[in-house]
Structure 1
């Protein structure tokens, strides 16, 4: 992890959740390495290295982000192979 990795990842979620509408727009954030799913990967990685108290605090934030991300995306029926990277890679946005 690099300095401010968690802050950058959280900022990506904040940015993508500012999109209007019920579902996230795929065209708004579709560059490899900077998608919100990549930010979620970074948060998952950070959780592996945090002390217990910080892990609980970040875990609460992640739970809220996950709920909103799930609410604003749709299941991707052809993403079985992506599931090994995290459930968030098995979701799709409106195109």
Structure 2
């Protein structure tokens, strides 16, 4: 088993990935989220993804799943990192005033209700 980047000798993140996600989905999600936030400019508009591997919303969803499932020590370390990234996303992106409130999936988390870039071809 991997040594955890987020606390503990045996990596609960690797255990979670092997049971519910795919290795190394949490580190990949962190890299995608950080990569999106490294872009210059403000505001940042969420891209319309071609695939989940490029989707910042999917990355944040993966991190939320990990936060919901990890034991307290690992969760606390990951939460510290995710909170910093979330603060940057909130600061550099805009809420979507037209985001449907009756769509349960979209309404469940704030990062799903940020403005996207214009739809290709519009």
Q: TM-score range by the shorter chain?
A: 0.7 to 0.9
The match for 1:92 is: 115
Root-mean-square deviation (CA, aligned residues, Å) is 1.6
1:48 CA drift (Å) = 2.1
Q: Which has the higher contact order (CA 8 A, sep 6+)?
A: 1
How far apart, CA to CA, are the structure 2 residues paired with 1:73 and 1:6? 23
Match of residue 79, structure 2, among 30, 46, 59:
59
Structure 2 spans left out of the alignment, 5+ residues: 1-20
2:102 is the counterpart of 1:78: no
Instruction: State TM-score, norm by structure 1.
Output: 0.86
Answer with 1 or 2: which has the greater Rg: 2
Question: 1 or 2, which has the higher helix percentage?
Answer: 1
- Structure 1: tracts of 5 or more residues without a match: none
* Matched length: 92
* Inter-CA distance 76–25: structure 2 relative to 1 (3 Å threshold): closer
